[in-house]
């Protein structure tokens, strides 16, 4: 059955309605077009800027520094993140407050006081009727900063910054130094190795979508990697503490001006401890005399005195002007070019061998020994040791030693004579350590250094040979006799073979020797296979009977005892017999 079609009568649109509808939609279209033109043309730059602000952010790296740690990763210096709290009272609001509501200062203080640990009255005084930019507190910890942020109070700004801390206080200050209020290295390694210690963090732009999703950009693969490197020192904190304690006590007991003690590996130049007294608190550096901030052990010079006698004997052996089994006649004084030179006690020692020359520290014996060496050759040998050159190291910049001009040294007989027992020229304490390290390790020059990354800072050890291995062995054994039977007896330790030499040198002022002294002792161990050199130097002890044997030796023994324990050095004797290596 077919459906019947239904006829629909169409009603014509009223012309007025049509025109109104047409005009309405035309206006809508024109409005949209106008809006589009405004967005695309007139407001484009503003909108683009707003979009960048929403979609991108810039990281602001702090001026931070790498941590400094010892050879066992113990902290010596590190950066601690802290915060400054600024207040802007005209913007004070609590979460949920309406836009026109401003909270009172008292309400804000009531919330902050328990967190900051300040009394309300103290914080209220900070505002002083200021409506913006009021600094309320400094050195706020991360924990307290989190608590302040959790309050959600508008008008409070926490500014993050970094502050340097030295957990071991004055123990390392003469070596590591300190940073100033702007976190810039101002002394010690903090200054000398500033470029190495500063972190490499940089500002980076981060792009995000409307929902916070990161967007692709042109950042490099390493742009957002934090710098977590540390500066590792060769120092052992346990040995450093033991050295510092022993040295500090002796400087105090003898009412000395200052003291220095160092332990160094003779084979590679690594410094295991470096203590200097007096020291200072690096957190309060402004309270101290700036003179304390310099590394005087590499910058100040002194006449080494008798601690240089083993070096001179090595030079004489190298030139074959003396022989291992030789003797010398010591009558207590000797005349050189019209000058009479005496032994330290003005007593003669008779007909003695070379080990005995060191044991009794005979000046007369040394003069007669070195008179066998041509002055010009002697001067050349001293120059080849680098006496008058800068000492290359990653420590403070060093001061070159002072050596008389060759013409003076050669033509005035008194000059090589006094040089034979360590007078008439000057070197830094650290240079003396370097020379004795070479004497101990078979004759090779090593570079004293305190950073494990020293290969990037200073040249590799040159392996320049200053002495032959045979000469080094002979002189080291002669030095052992000083500990066994001479002025270094105070460092004898049962079961261990230790070589050493004391020194007591008068200080000169304006070319005239004074009553002020420098007392020193240098030791190497173990004798059969030397690995460590120890130097103790105490400047201007003010009590009577101040000698290397009475002032420096006791400190050296304490340091050596600690070194044996920390480095687990096995004894070389058992039941009075030398322990044979397997």
pLDDT tens digits, 418-435: 999 999 999 999 999 999
Query: Which residue in 67, 243, 306, 362 is the catalytic one?
Result: 306
- pLDDT surpasses 80 at 258: yes
Per-residue model confidence (pLDDT) at position 333: 94
- Interval 345-372 mean pLDDT: 95
Cα R_g (the chain), whole angstroms? 38
- pLDDT surpasses 80 at 455: no
Count helices and strands in the chain by DSSP H and E runs: 19, 18
- Interval 542-571 mean pLDDT: 96
Pairing of strands 258-265, 205-207: unpaired
Per-residue model confidence (pLDDT) at position 582: 39
Per-residue model confidence (pLDDT) at position 224: 44
Per-residue model confidence (pLDDT) at position 221: 47
CA distance 17 to 24: 10
CA distance 199 to 186: 16
Average per-residue pLDDT in the chain? 87
Give residue-wise pLDDT tens across range 53-86. Answer: 555 555 555 668 999 999 999 999 999 889 999 9
pTM of the predicted structure, to 2 decimals: 0.81
Walk me through the domains of the chain, giving residue ranges and CATH numbers: 67-206+228-232 (3.90.1310.10), 237-578 (3.40.710.10)
- Any catalytic annotation for residue 306? yes
- pLDDT surpasses 90 at 215: no
- Interval 255-264 mean pLDDT: 97
- Interval 201-208 mean pLDDT: 54
CA distance 362 to 356: 8
Which of 181 and 146 is assigned the larger pLDDT?
A: 146
150: left (phi over 0), alpha (psi -120 to 50) or beta: alpha
Which of 99 and 417 is assigned the larger pLDDT?
A: 417
CA distance 496 to 498: 6
Q: Which of 7-16, 337-346, 359-368 has the highest mean pLDDT?
A: 359-368
Close Cβ partners of 505 (under 8 Å, ≥ 6 residues apart): 302, 303, 304, 305, 306, 422, 423, 517, 518, 520
CA distance 513 to 536: 22
């Amino acid at each position: 059955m077919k459906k019947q079609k239904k006829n629909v009568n169409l009603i014509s649109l009223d012309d007025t309605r049509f025109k109104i509808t047409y005009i309405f939609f035309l206006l809508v279209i024109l409005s949209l077009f106008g809006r589009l033109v405004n967005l695309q043309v007139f407001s484009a730059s503003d909108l683009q800027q707003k979009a960048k602000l929403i979609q991108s952010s810039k990281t602001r790296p702090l001026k931070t520094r790498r941590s400094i740690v010892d050879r066992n990763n113990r902290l010596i210096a590190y950066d601690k993140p802290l915060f400054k709290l600024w207040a802007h009272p005209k913007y004070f609001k609590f979460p949920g407050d309406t836009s026109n509501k401003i909270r009172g200062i008292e309400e804000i203080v009531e919330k902050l006081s328990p967190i900051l640990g300040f009394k309300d009255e103290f914080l209220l005084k900070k505002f002083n009727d200021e409506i913006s930019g009021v600094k309320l507190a400094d050195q706020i910890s991360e924990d307290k900063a989190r608590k302040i942020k959790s309050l959600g109070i508008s008008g409070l700004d926490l500014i993050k910054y970094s502050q340097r801390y030295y957990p071991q206080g004055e123990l390392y200050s003469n070596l590591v130094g300190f940073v100033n209020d702007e976190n810039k290295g101002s002394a010690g390694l903090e200054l000398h190795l500033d470029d190495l210690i500063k972190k490499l963090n940089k500002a980076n732009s981060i792009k995000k979508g409307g929902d916070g999703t990161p967007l692709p950009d042109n950042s490099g693969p390493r742009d957002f990697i934090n710098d977590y490197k540390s500066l590792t020192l060769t120092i052992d904190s346990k040995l450093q503490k033991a050295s510092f304690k022993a040295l500090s006590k002796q400087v105090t007991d003898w009412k000395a001006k200052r003291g220095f003690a160092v332990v160094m590996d003779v084979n590679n130049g690594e410094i295991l401890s470096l203590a200097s007294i007096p020291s200072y608190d690096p957190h309060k550096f402004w309270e101290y005399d700036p003179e304390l901030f310099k590394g005087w052990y590499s910058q100040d010079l002194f006449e080494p005195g008798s601690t240089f006698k083993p070096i001179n004997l090595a030079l004489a052996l190298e030139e074959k002007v003396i022989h291992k089994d030789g003797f010398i006649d010591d009558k207590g004084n000797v005349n050189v070019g019209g000058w009479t030179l005496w032994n330290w006690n003005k007593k003669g020692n008779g007909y003695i061998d070379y080990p005995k020359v060191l044991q009794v520290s005979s000046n007369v014996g040394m003069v007669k020994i070195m008179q066998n060496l041509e002055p010009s050759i002697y001067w050349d040998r001293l120059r080849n040791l680098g006496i008058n050159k800068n000492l290359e190291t990653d420590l403070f910049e060093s001061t070159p030693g002072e050596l008389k001009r060759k013409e003076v040294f050669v033509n005035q007989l008194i000059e090589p004579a006094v040089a034979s027992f360590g007078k008439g020229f000057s070197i830094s304490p650290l240079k003396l350590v370097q020379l004795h390290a070479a004497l101990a390790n078979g004759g090779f020059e090593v570079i004293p250094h305190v950073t494990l990354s020293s290969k990037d800072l200073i040249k590799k050890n040159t392996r320049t040979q200053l002495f032959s291995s045979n000469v080094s062995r002979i002189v080291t054994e002669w030095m052992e006799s000083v500990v066994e039977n001479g002025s270094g007896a105070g460092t004898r330790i049962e079961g261990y073979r230790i070589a050493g030499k004391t020194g007591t040198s008068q200080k000169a002022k304006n070319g005239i020797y004074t009553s002020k002294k420098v007392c020193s002792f240098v030791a190497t161990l173990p004798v059969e296979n030397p690995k460590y050199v120890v130097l103790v130097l105490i400047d201007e002890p003010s009590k009577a009977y101040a000698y290397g044997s009475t002032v420096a030796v006791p400190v050296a023994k304490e340091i050596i005892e600690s070194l044996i324990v920390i480095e687990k050095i096995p004894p070389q004797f058992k039941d009075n017999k030398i322990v044979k290596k397997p």
